[in-house]
């Protein structure tokens, strides 16, 4: 077994992003990160060798109204170790259920896979994907999500007493590469030290621009679906979008003033 391989972190292309749910209002949705099926295969091959592990899969479906249910049992057998790990999965088809079970069983073996479980369910607002998904009056978020695909652009890991965890992850629309969400683990010491000063400075800048654009803080919070301006300041993309929108609003106000002067 190669320690260097065992300890390596997952790469962005080894993780997939799935849409988990959409809100009743249709204005936001949640996503979760998963390892890809081929990631489980390749990682186990790297760890133990292609001929030193195998799997058995059992399938069940209780009724036509229930999903397929699968149990995957992985047997690792090398000169140094010999053990079994198993877990269950489900899906709309036998293939999907077997894939889910394999990945879950592999998580019981590979510490790097379990790091994905440290990411909470991520909620993405309609405003954050409007450009990436080309949303409009005739193209709603709910309709578009049936075909939308997302990918991981970057991912970084940290280590604690409890094991590996994800420090940060950037999610983008698969085709365009447009960033739709930037997750940061706010519990890390590095995060608190690095962003606290920047966030305060950005909030001040936002309030200055809001005053110039005659846009209230209440309206700003409502527009972005947030509780505090710091939530805008913490994310580069949303912060820049907010500044751009305020700049455009101020431009319109200035033009209206000029027009009134001409008319007078």
Model confidence band, residue 192 (pLDDT cutoffs 50, 70, 90): low
> Domains of the chain (ranges plus CATH)?
7-185 (3.30.390)
Give 155-173 pLDDT, tens digit per residue.
Answer: 998 887 777 889 899 999 9
pLDDT of residue 5: 44
Average pLDDT, the chain: 87
Q: Which three-class secondary structure string do you get for the chain?
A: CCHHHHCCCCCHHHEEEEEEEECCCCCEEEEEEEECHHHHHHHHHHHHCCCCEEEEEEEECCCCCCCEEEEEEEEEECCCCEEEEEEEEEECCHHHHHHHHHHHHHHCCCHHHHHHHHCCCEEEEHHHHCCCCCCECCECHHHHCCCCCEEEEEEEEEEECCEEEEEEEEEEECCCCCEEEEEECCCCHHHHHHHHHHHHHHHHHHHHHHHHCCCCHHHHHHHHCCCCCHHHHCCHHHHHHHHHHHHHHHHHHHHHHHHHHHHC
């Amino acid at each position: 077994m190669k320690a260097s391989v065992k300890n390596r972190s997952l790469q962005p292309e080894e993780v997939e992003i799935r849409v988990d749910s959409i809100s009743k209002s249709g204005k936001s949705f949640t996503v979760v990160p998963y390892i890809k099926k081929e990631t489980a295969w390749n990682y186990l091959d790297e760890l133990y060798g292609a001929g030193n592990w195998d799997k058995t899969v059992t399938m069940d479906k209780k009724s036509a109204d229930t999903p397929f249910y699968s149990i995957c049992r992985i047997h690792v057998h090398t000169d140094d170790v010999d053990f079994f790990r198993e877990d269950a999965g489900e899906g709309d088809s036998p293939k999907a259920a077997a894939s889910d079970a394999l990945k879950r069983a592999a998580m019981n073996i590979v510490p790097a896979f379990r790091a994905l479980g440290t990411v909470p369910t991520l909620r993405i607002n309609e405003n954050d994907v409007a450009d990436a998904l080309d949303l409009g009056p005739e193209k709603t978020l709910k309709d578009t999500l049936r075909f939308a695909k997302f990918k991981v652009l970057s991912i970084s890991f940290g280590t604690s007493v409890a094991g590996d965890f994800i420090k940060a992850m950037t999610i983008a629309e698969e085709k365009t590469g447009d960033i739709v969400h930037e997750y940061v683990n706010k519990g890390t010491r590095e995060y608190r030290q690095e962003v606290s000063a920047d966030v305060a400075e950005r909030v001040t800048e936002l309030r200055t621009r809001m005053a110039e654009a005659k846009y209230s803080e209440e309206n700003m919070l409502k527009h972005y679906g947030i509780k505090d301006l710091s939530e805008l300041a913490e994310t580069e993309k949303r912060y820049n979008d907010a500044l751009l929108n305020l700049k455009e609003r101020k431009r319109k106000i200035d033009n209206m003033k000029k027009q009134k002067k001409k008319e007078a």
